[in-house]
Structure 1
Amino acid sequence: MKEETVSKTIMERVKNTMINTVNYTKIGQKEGEKKQVTGKLIDLTLVEDGDLCVIDFDINKKLSIEKTDKRRQNIIDNILPANVGLVKTAHGGLHAYCNRDGYTLPSNRCVKCIVLDNIEIDIFGQMIKYKEHGGMEQKELVQNRVVGPNSSFRETKNNKRETLKYEAVNDWANMTHLVSLREILDSWNVDIEIPFKDYVDKVNMREFGWQVTEEGTIDRMNDEIAQACVNGLKNLEIHNYPQPINMEVSLLSVFSGIYGITNEQIRAEGMKNIRQFNKLTANAEKNYGEASFSGERKPNPWILTKILRNHNKDYYEQIIKPLLKQNYEVKKQQKISDIVQQIEKHEIDLKDPFT
């Protein structure tokens, strides 16, 4: 991305894209209409650089306020980097503003990358600017709107009228040099940068790779997968500068992954293997200590699976991928077991048509 773009604040990038909302609704104000302005919509299609995107964390609305707040804070603390613009949504979810930075999304909005019982994560970005009809591009723009901060709307819940607000969590308006979408998705072990047809075909095949928990934290990696990852970190060229993982292996990503391993013996073996079985560039050797310190501050073991998927592909397909699938099946069966126990605990009769 151009420095001219990344150095602009979010407000500078969206100031000409905002549409007023009126009368505590999410409906845009029509030209000449005189109604009370109660918020703003941001149309990502109108962002000139075409690169701003929003990650939407939708937290289960049935959860208590305390549990919702805890999950939102977990998301901020555990799975998002610092340089994102943050907006708390009306129902306690979160919008995280980042740069698409060339990442090819399959569509403009509601691109689901993770779906859990209590958290769903969608991405909104500018991919298609103009509507199509009969295979021909039209002059009409595709609307791609998200609600901006300092916006209010009302809804009726339990026969009670409530006013809900979208509020900036950090210095949203003045944020610059936003992190790239790729960096965030890489840290979650999520890859949706594929043609739309393939995306549809594979959407049900990639769940085993998700490692974000219902609590909004990074899932713990079991020892079997951790050991397999450490065993596979061999014959790699490790660089100093943190490029996207699909391009090259950086020392920071390796340290982040190894520090995320909870088994001390496996972690120690991984540390020893970095230099013993891999080639470090001169700059990587020079900045070894600094990268180690930075990696320890943001541990995430699942980055190792991403490294192996891109840079030790045969090993990933033969060893890591089956383990990830197995891990997914175990978690799925545990989830089913938990539901059954809950049903038995409350003595729910599944044959009762009124249950």
Structure 2
Amino acid sequence: MQPLVELYMQEKDSKTIMERVKDAMINTVNYTKIDEDNLCAVDIYIHKYKSIEEIDKIRQNLIDILPPNVGFVKTAHGGLHIYCNRNYQRIVSNRNVKVAITDSFDIDIFAQMNRNKIENGQETKEIIQNRVVAPNTSIREIKNNQRVTLKYEAINDWENVSHLASLKEILDKWNIDIEMSYKDSAQQQYDRIYGVQINDEGTIEQMNDELAQACVDGLKNLGIHNCYQPINMEVFLLSIFCGLYGISNESIRAEGIGNIRKFNKLSANADKNYGQIDLQD
């Protein structure tokens, strides 16, 4: 029998985005309030000084590397809202501003971590809610001394998407860990120490062979599980395969796949599923 929490999460996940936010729409300005604990929005702000062609290219590059089971909304200034599941990933606050910064765009994340306002470290009775502009919203602003109307537009079938991808899946595509300190994150961006790194145009840079070989050589003396185990020196089988299939050099990749069984201890389920995981397609 499945645990009640798991059944509850499956029921919520089967609902479309519109079913989850329909009671959180403010008709006056058509805002969507992010007041469900598992729904969050990633806001990509593409710098407005870019040309329309550059903005469109960056936005499409970002969409191309993301899973399809998310809600995509084009913002009024050409940026991107991405609706996904938080899946109870712990993040710092409801509003996480500029979790990543490039020369072309910034990334913010909005979620419902706290329902009540925090003052001086104490929870108050005041309710707080994040509000994200929904599709089909029009705003007006002055541009070149003229009033213009800008729209938020759904890119995919936004309101009917269900079984959303997780926030972690999306951030992993860009090699972003929002639980890292700013210092570590800045050092990571500088050194490019991870295998895949998002660049200023929203595309992916592959790791070089030297770094790939170092990663493969370090794939030893681990306890490998079929599902996530937050214990020292124990890792998740699928995450290893995802990393290895990000290596473009086929011989280094094959060596890494061989090292999984050769130098590590797999749990019974991980060993059973080892030969069934194939991410090449």
Structure 1 residues 224-235: aligned runs within 5 Å: 224-235=210-221
2:74 is the alignment partner of 1:121: no
Partner of 1:17 in structure 2?
24
Which TM-score applies when normalising by structure 2?
A: 0.84
Structure 1 residues 38-117: aligned runs within 5 Å: 40-44=30-34, 47=35, 49-78=36-65, 80-117=66-103
Shift of the alpha carbon at 1:136?
4.9
Distance in 1, matches of 2:185 and 2:217, equals: 29
SS for the counterpart of 2:95 is: coil
Q: Which amino acid aligns with 2:40?
A: C
Contact 2:175-2:198 within 8 A present in 1 as well = no
Q: Percent identity?
A: 57
SS for the counterpart of 1:155 is: strand
Change (3 A) 1:115 1:140: same
Change (3 A) 1:272 1:127: same
Change (3 A) 1:166 1:290: farther
Looking at secondary structure, tell me which structure has more strand per residue. 2
Distance in 1, matches of 2:107 and 2:251, equals: 34
Deviations 1:73-110 (A, max 9, x none): 111111x2222111111111111111112122211114
Number of equivalences: 269
Q: Which amino acid aligns with 2:15?
A: K
Q: Which amino acid aligns with 2:107?
A: I
Distance in 1, matches of 2:82 and 2:229, equals: 19
Deviations 1:308-354 (A, max 9, x none): xxxxxxxxxxxxxxxxxxxxxxxxxxxxxxxxxxxxxxxxxxxxxxx
SS for the counterpart of 2:239 is: helix
Higher alpha-carbon Rg: 1
Distance in 2, matches of 1:129 and 1:167, equals: 28
Gapped runs of 5+ residues in structure 2?
1-5
Moved more, 180-189 or 124-133: 180-189
Change (3 A) 1:109 1:135: closer
Which aligned runs of 4 or more in structure 1 are off by greater than 6 angstroms? Answer: 244-247
SS for the counterpart of 1:219 is: strand
Contact 2:73-2:156 within 8 A present in 1 as well = yes
Distance in 1, matches of 2:142 and 2:246, equals: 44
SS for the counterpart of 2:72 is: strand
Looking at secondary structure, tell me which structure has more helix per residue. 1
Shift of the alpha carbon at 1:182?
2.5
Deviations 1:279-327 (A, max 9, x none): 33444444445412xx224xxxxxxxxxxxxxxxxxxxxxxxxxxxxxx
Gapped runs of 5+ residues in structure 1?
22-27, 29-39, 298-355
Which TM-score applies when normalising by structure 1?
A: 0.68
Change (3 A) 1:161 1:7: same
Contact 1:86-1:95 within 8 A present in 2 as well = yes
Distance in 2, matches of 1:246 and 1:132, equals: 31
Change (3 A) 1:214 1:134: closer
2:267 is the alignment partner of 1:277: no
Partner of 2:157 in structure 1?
171
Distance in 2, matches of 1:180 and 1:244, equals: 18
RMSD between superposed Cα atoms in Å = 2.6
Distance in 2, matches of 1:214 and 1:244, equals: 34
1:216 maps to which of 186, 189, 202: 202
Q: Does 1 or 2 have the higher relative contact order (CA < 8 Å, sep 6+)?
A: 2
Contact 1:58-1:94 within 8 A present in 2 as well = yes
Change (3 A) 1:131 1:286: closer
Distance in 2, matches of 1:282 and 1:203, equals: 36
Change (3 A) 1:246 1:92: farther
SS for the counterpart of 2:27 is: strand
Q: Which amino acid aligns with 1:296?
A: Q
Distance in 2, matches of 1:132 and 1:147, equals: 24
Structure 1 residues 186-201: aligned runs within 5 Å: 186-193=172-179, 199=181
